[in-house]
Amino acid sequence: MPVTSQQWWAEVKQDPAKFNEWLRKQYHGEVTAAVRILAMAADTINADNKRVLEQIARQEEQHAAWVKELLDNRNVDPGQHDESARYWGEVSAAAITFEDKAAIATLAEGMRLERIRVIVADEAAPPDVRFTFERILHDEEWHERAFAKLTSPEAIEKVRPYHTLGREVLGLEA
């Protein structure tokens, strides 16, 4: 049954195993995002787009380092990345053109922002986690806007059904 970001966070922060698994997934998600965005930058001949994408990728690498620090401070092994049954598995079929990929990224950033905003707004969240995600929030808001400028409303609507399936795989309400 799909849950809201509020419901998800209330459950995750109360369960140490789920909390640690969520942090692991955050770490691997940031690393994977940086790699995919750098590949996207390498595939474009537009110098302005390449510069924006490289900046986003550098920020995603920084986010990965911050989340890795949270894992290290909690003595949590990041483990190996498992891409099975995750968001990208549902949306990758729609990632055909540059504009499609930017549209997927726009929607994915918006989805991530829902959860990040819930965490940052939660005064009962662990202080180090809240601080880290406050730093990440500003960058992710810019990422969503930047990706939106690299695509079109039509491309976003074209990939939205795949995004919706990706949300369902993650157990989130659409």
Work out the angle between the directed axes of helices 47-73 and 127-149 (0-180°, nearest 10).
170
Map residue 37 onto helix, strand or coil. helix
**Parent domain of 136:** 5-170
Which pair of tokens denotes residue 78? 């990041």
Could you tell me the sign of the dihedral formed by the alpha carbons of 38, 39, 42, 45, in that order? negative
Distances in whole angstroms, Cα of residue 159 to Cα of each of 30, 77, 94, 153, 174? 22, 35, 6, 10, 14
What is residue 4's DSSP assignment? Answer: -
> Domain of 124: which CATH number?
1.20.1260.10
pLDDT in tens, 1-40: 567 889 889 999 999 999 999 999 899 989 989 999 999 9
Enter the pTM of the model: 0.90
Query: Could you give the number of structural domains in the chain?
Result: 1
